[in-house]
Amino acid sequence: MPKSKITKSLKIHTLIAEFGSDVFCTDGTVLFCNICSVKVNHEKKYYIQQHIKSEKHIKGLQIKKNKTQMIAPFVEKNVFYADITKMMIACGIPLYKLKSVEFKSFFEKYVQESLPDESTLRKNYVKDCYESVLQKIRLEIGESPIFVSIDETTDKAGRSVTNVIVGPLRESGRGYLLTVEVLDKDSNVKKCWYL
Domain chopping of the chain, boundaries? 7-59, 144-183
Instruction: Give the residue, 139 or 78, on which the prediction is more confident.
Output: 139
For residues 34 and 26, is the Cβ–Cβ distance under 8 A?
no
Tell me the Ramachandran region of residue 89: left when phi exceeds 0, alpha when psi lies from -120 to 50, beta otherwise.
alpha
pLDDT band at 37 (very low <50, low <70, confident <90, very high): confident
List the one residue out of 45, 10, 38 whose CA is nearest residue 23. 38
pLDDT band at 86 (very low <50, low <70, confident <90, very high): very high
pLDDT band at 130 (very low <50, low <70, confident <90, very high): confident
Three-state DSSP class for residue 136: helix
Instruction: Give the residue, 185 or 130, on which the prediction is more confident.
Output: 130
The pLDDT tens digits of the residues spanning 16-29 come to 888 887 888 887 78
φ, ψ (nearest 5 deg) of residue 38: -140, 155
**C-alpha dihedral, 28 to 31 to 37 to 39, nearest 10°:** -110
